[in-house]
Structure 1
Amino acid sequence: MRVERIERSKHKQERVLVYLEGGDLLRITESELLRFGLYVGLDISPETVVQLQKSGARSETRVRAANMISARPLSKKELTRRLVQKGSEADDAGAAAEYLENIGALDDAAYAAMLVRHYSAQGCGPARIRDELYRRGVPRELWDEALETAPDAQETLACVIASKTRGKPLNEKDYKRLSDALLRRGFSWGEVKTALRTAGAALTDADDGL
C-alpha cells in the first residue's frame, strides 16, 4: 500500500493521520511516524499496516492516560478502568498505567495519603475513608500506612461536634441525631460515644459558669 497523504489531526494535537491508497486511514502519533520512517509515496506492506495500527493505539492510550492524570489524581486501577471505558484495549490501558507508574507520574501510595487528608478534613472517620480507598482502587496493602497520617479521631470528632452544636446543649433527640450522623461519617460507636460525652461535659461546664 502506498502512503498518499500525511497530515496532523485538527481535533487531537497528538494524532497524525496517514492516508493510504484505496481509502484506508491510519491514526497514529508522531512516535510511529518517526519510528516507521513514513513519508508520502512510501509503499508499506499489510503487515506493517497492522503494526502501525497496534502501535498507534498503544501510543494514543498512553497520551490519553497522561492527560487523564494531569486533569485529576487517579489510582492505577482507576486509570486503567477509565481508559478501557474510553475505548482502549485492556492490555494497552494496563501498559500505559504501568509506564506512568514506572516514571513516577502515577503513585498509589501518594494518592492514598491525599485521599486520607482530604476526607479527614471533611470530617470523615476511618471506616468511611477505607470505603473511599476501596472505591477508588487503592491497593489494600497501602491503606494502613496512609491512615496513619489521619488526625486523631477524637480531634476530628470534636471539630465536627462543635460545628454542629455551636455551643448549645444537646437534648436526647439532638444526641441521637448527631450520633447517627457521626456514625455515617465512618466513626465507631465507641469513638462517637466518647466524643459526645466529652462535648456534653464541656457544654455543661460552660453553662455552669454563666
Structure 2
Amino acid sequence: MTVNTARDPVAVALRLLAVRSHAVGELKVKLKKKGFDETDISRTVDYLAGIGSLDDERFAREVLASRTRNKNWGPRKVAADLAVRGVAQDIIRRVVGSVDGEAQAALAKEAIARWLRKTGCRMPLGQKEFAKAVRHLTARGFGLDVVLNGLRRYDDIDAG
C-alpha cells in the first residue's frame, strides 16, 4: 500500500520546507492554494512548529542575514518583506531591531560601494548623483540619516 503524499499536508509542507524556510503565514497560503482545508493547515503548522521545522523568528533572522548580505537591503526593506510574508510585527521589530547603528552603517557603506561600482560614479558626487544615491539607498531600506552619514563617511574615506 502506498501513501498519497500529494494529499498529506505534512508531506507537502515538508517538501516546501526542504527547498527553503518559510514563514508560518507563507506556508499557510501555499497549503491553502493546494486545496487543504483550514483544520488540516492548522494541525500541520502546529505539528511543524512543535518539532522545530517551522519558526518565524528563525525565518526572520535568515531573511535578514540573506537580504542584507546578498542584496544590500537595509532594515526597513527587510521589515517590509517580512511583513508581506506574514511574519508578526513583534517578531519583525525584535529581529530587525537587533541591527544596531554600527551594523547599519557597515551595511550602508557596502550598499554605497556596490552602487558606485554599478553606476560608475566616483566620489565626491555631484548634486544629481548625490540625489540618485540618496533615492537608491532609501529605496533599499536605509533611513535617511544612515544614508547621509554613510555618504559623508564614504566621501571622507575616499578623499583621505
Structure-2-length-normalised TM-score: 0.86
1:132-152: CA deviations, max 9, x gaps? 110111111212332244461
Aligned to 2:158: 203
Residue from 67, 71, 83 that aligns with 2:31 = 83
Higher relative contact order (CA 8 A, sep 6+): 2
Which residue does the alignment assign to 1:168? 122
Query: What does residue range 66-105 of structure 1 map to in structure 2 within 5 Å?
Result: 66-105=14-53
CA shift digits 1:34-89 (9 cap, x unpaired): xxxxxxxxxxxxxxxxxxxxxxx6xx112211221122210111111110111111
Deviation at 1:188, TM superposition (A): 1.1
Paired residue for 2:95, among 126, 131, 146?
146
Helix, strand or coil for the counterpart of 1:74?
Answer: coil
Residues 186-197 of structure 1 correspond to what in structure 2 (within 5 A)? 186-197=141-152
| Structure 1 ranges of 4+ moved more than 6 A | none
In the superposition, the TM-score normalised over structure 1's length comes to: 0.67
Q: What is the distance in 2 between the residues matched to 1:80 and 1:162?
A: 39
CA contact (8 A) 1:116 1:150 kept: no
Structure with more strand by fraction: 1
How many residues align? The count is 153
Q: Take 2:72 and 2:40, find their aligned partners in 1: how far apart are those partners?
A: 39
Q: Distance in 1 between matches of 2:23 and 2:42?
A: 12
Look up the equivalent residue of 1:66 and give its one-letter code: L
Instruction: Find the residue that maps to 1:132 and give its secondary structure.
Output: helix
CA distance in 2, matches of 1:73, 1:153: 25
Distance 1:82 1:94 in 2: 13
Is the CA contact 1:158–1:199 (under 8 Å) kept in the aligned structure 2?
Answer: yes
Q: How does 1:1-210 map to 2 (within 5 A)?
A: 7-8=1-2, 14-15=3-4, 60-121=8-69, 122-150=71-99, 152-166=103-117, 168-169=122-123, 170-205=125-160
- Measure the CA separation in 2 of the matches of 1:99 and 1:69: 13
Larger Rg: 1
Structure 2 equivalent of residue 51 of structure 1: none
CA RMSD of aligned residues (A): 2.0
Partner Cα distance (2:84, 2:137) in 1 = 21
Secondary structure at 1:138 match in 2: coil
Cα distance in structure 2, aligned partners of 1:200 and 1:116: 27
**Amino acid across the alignment from 2:34:** K
Gap regions ≥5 residues in structure 2: none
Q: Which amino acid aligns with 1:145?
A: R
CA distances 1:15-52 after superposition (whole Å, capped 9, x unpaired)? 2xxxxxxxxxxxxx7xxxxxxxxxxxxxxxxxxxxxxx
Structure (1/2) with the larger helix percentage: 2
Q: In 1, distance between residues paired with 2:48 and 2:37?
A: 17
Matching residue of 1:25: none
Structure 1 runs not aligned, ≥5 long: 1-6, 9-13, 16-28, 30-56, 206-210
Whichever residue aligns with residue 74 of structure 1, its letter is H
